[in-house]
Amino acid sequence: MIKLTSKAPDEFSGDLLVYFLEKEDAKISAETDGLINRALHRAREHGDFTGAKDDTFLFYPGLTSEDDIGGAKAVLFIGLGEQDDDPAVRKEQLRLAAGLAAKTGGNMKARELLAVLPKEYMLAPNEIAECVTEGLLLGNYRFTLYKTKEDIPEKEKVVGNFILSDGGLSATAVRRGMNRGKILAEAVYACRDMSNQPANKWTPSEFAEFAKKISKQYGLKCKVIEKPAMVKLGMGGILGVNQGSAQPPKLVILEYRTKKDNPTVMLVGKGLTFDSGGISLKPAAGMEDMKYDMCGGAAVITAMQAIAMDKPENVNVIGLVPATENLSGSAAIKPGDIIVHYGGKTSEVVNTDAEGRLILADALAYGVETYSPEAIVDLATLTGAVIVGLGHHRTGLMANNDELAERLLTAGNQVGEPEWRLPLGPEYRKQMDSKVADIKNTGTKGGGAITAACYLQEFVGDTPWAHLDIAGTAWDFTEKSYVPKGPSGTGTRTLVELVREWKPLNRTEKDS
């Protein structure tokens, strides 16, 4: 899908040759074919290409001159605008520009697209290659599994193959960056694919099968806790939510192990393969979107895949995905029911549609006890309330530890998945007080994203923990060239980035 070439761009004879140019770039490089430099000069002179962010200029060199550049059917200039002071912004700019290149190439049905890396973009060569690779591949994603006709635009309008030209940067560094970009893109493809799958094709069992497959492929340890074991372990949350479903529940666990002494990071993702609301039934309009209620689980499981391939050395990582459907029926859990979670805490189920927290509670409590992690991050499409607060542009972040929260904000920022931190505190927790159990599963009015997080907090004890509510960003995310409509695959790259940079937490610090 993508490879590196050592040939000069002039020798490329495929469909589309892409150059990324900054606002001030008047010339591509001295070595570049005169024709392209002349074209750039002309385009600038006429004001047709300024190099501003998202500015593009496409032309057919062979049509305008005798001195053809050797065969590229078309040449595309893409503007990078002015270099931002913040490296995270520059990285995102490269992803966006590369995504735009993939889109343009796709519309042309380019079989081969050669992208020449920009040389002086104030990032390490491997970072430049990584971001461009991510942008190209992620922008070329389509989900056409169930389109049976061949001649449909979504199927045709893709780039066949991408080629990178190092643009004068160190080829070894570029190769390293490209390979990493590939690992991430592959994981995000898998995340988007499973999220796109409808609930009848992606059940809790599919989650388990996928985990087993990648554990064999990439050398992870995989364990699946089945229903009978859940009964023995007392996982009343997962079992309760699963009561109305004909599909057996699964608690899928993947382990990435380095050295025993290394700290362990635990990732937990909500794997609700369909959320009808249960007896507290959701309205029909838009209910089909609730096939996406497993995006947190998808992010965790595909992050584990990328981590296994990327092999960070100083950290152990555990991924847990509680997976079930939430359906109604005569066996289903009812409002007012009381469940006993793993570890013994009791919960009054006031609303069966607040099911994500019920299944996560068991996974969190079980994970804390079994793996004694140094830190926990959970991801879940948990509340509509987070969409009311933050829209579709930022993931809601809530945490009991400032350092972990800061690390997540940084990681999200570095990969173009921004978050916004919301508070926690006893005044919110109080909204969840139950008259008959330890806690109830919905709060009184207001602050729904926060009260949901307070519920989860009950099950992590003192362990540093952060919760990402991705209900607004897992699909319908901010429109971007490299993020398609539908599931965005958010979370995967943030988690990999967090883990990659992991060092032990400063244990003296604690808040809320």
The whole-angstrom separation of Cα 9 and Cα 374 is: 48
Residues of span 280-319 touching ligand BES by CB under 6 A? 293
Q: Applying CB under 6 A, does 442 fall inside the site for ligand BES?
A: yes
Give the nearer residue to Zn ion in terms of CB position, either 130 or 275. Answer: 275
Q: In angstroms, what is the C-alpha Rg of the chain?
A: 24
Span of 53-61, 71-79, 182-190, 267-275 interacting with Zn ion by CB under 5 A: 267-275
Entry field: residues in the chain: 512
From 166, 206, 293, 417, residue interacting with Zn ion (rule: CB under 5 A): 293
> Would you say 40 and 49 are in contact if contact means Cβ atoms under 8 Å apart?
yes
Min dist. Cβ of residue 382 to ligand BES (A): 6
* Residue 282 a catalytic site member: yes
Give the nearer residue to Zn ion in terms of CB position, either 272 or 332. Answer: 272
The whole-angstrom separation of Cα 49 and Cα 154 is: 29
Min dist. Cβ of residue 351 to Mn ion (A): 8
Question: Residue 458: helix, strand or coil by DSSP?
Answer: coil
* Residue 493 a catalytic site member: no
Query: Backbone phi, then psi, for 324, in 5-degree steps?
Result: -165, 170
How many residues belong to the site for Mn ion (CB under 5 A)? 3
Residue 426: DSSP 8-state: H
The whole-angstrom separation of Cα 303 and Cα 306 is: 5
Residues of span 346-405 touching Mn ion by CB under 5 A? 353, 355
User: Which residue is catalytic, options 103, 270, 357, 493?
Assistant: 357
From 351, 370, 478, 512, residue interacting with ligand BES (rule: CB under 6 A): 351
Q: What is the token pair recorded at 148?
A: 């049976």
Q: What is the per-residue DSSP string for 182-200?
A: HHHHHHHHHHHHHHHS-TT
Q: What is the per-residue DSSP string for 243-308?
A: TT-SSPPEEEEEEE---TTS-EEEEEE-EEEEE--TTSPPPSTTGGGGGGGGHHHHHHHHHHHHHH
Give the nearer residue to ligand BES in terms of CB position, either 33 or 355. Answer: 355
The whole-angstrom separation of Cα 436 and Cα 347 is: 9
Q: Which residue is nearest to Mn ion (CB)?
A: 353
Residues of span 334-373 touching Zn ion by CB under 5 A? 356
Min dist. Cβ of residue 401 to Zn ion (A): 26
Task: Tell me, residue by residue from 466 to 505, as one string, x for binding to ligand BES by CB under 6 A and - for no binding.
Answer: -----x----------------------------------
Q: Which residue has the tokens 């995504």?
A: 99
Query: Backbone phi, then psi, for 70, in 5-degree steps?
Result: 105, -5
Question: Residue 224: helix, strand or coil by DSSP?
Answer: strand
Give the nearer residue to ligand BES in terms of CB position, either 34 or 329. Answer: 329
Question: Residue 376: helix, strand or coil by DSSP?
Answer: strand
Q: What is the per-residue DSSP string for 332-354?
A: S--TT-EEE-TTS-EEE-S-TT-
* Chosen from Zn ion, Mn ion, ligand BES, none, partner binding at 384 (C-beta under 5 to 8 Å by type): ligand BES
Q: Applying CB under 5 A, does 469 fall inside the site for Mn ion?
A: no
User: Which residue is catalytic, options 257, 282, 334, 421?
Assistant: 282
Q: How far is CA 76 from CA 2, 15, 61, in A?
A: 18, 10, 10
Give the nearer residue to Zn ion in terms of CB position, either 75 or 272. Answer: 272
Min dist. Cβ of residue 385 to ligand BES (A): 6
* Chosen from ligand BES, Zn ion, Mn ion, none, partner binding at 385 (C-beta under 5 to 8 Å by type): ligand BES
Q: Applying CB under 6 A, does 434 fall inside the site for ligand BES?
A: no
Q: Applying CB under 6 A, does 383 fall inside the site for ligand BES?
A: yes
Residues that bind Mn ion (CB under 5 A): 275, 353, 355
Residues that bind Zn ion (CB under 5 A): 272, 275, 293, 356
Residues that bind ligand BES (CB under 6 A): 275, 293, 351, 353-356, 381-385, 442, 448, 471
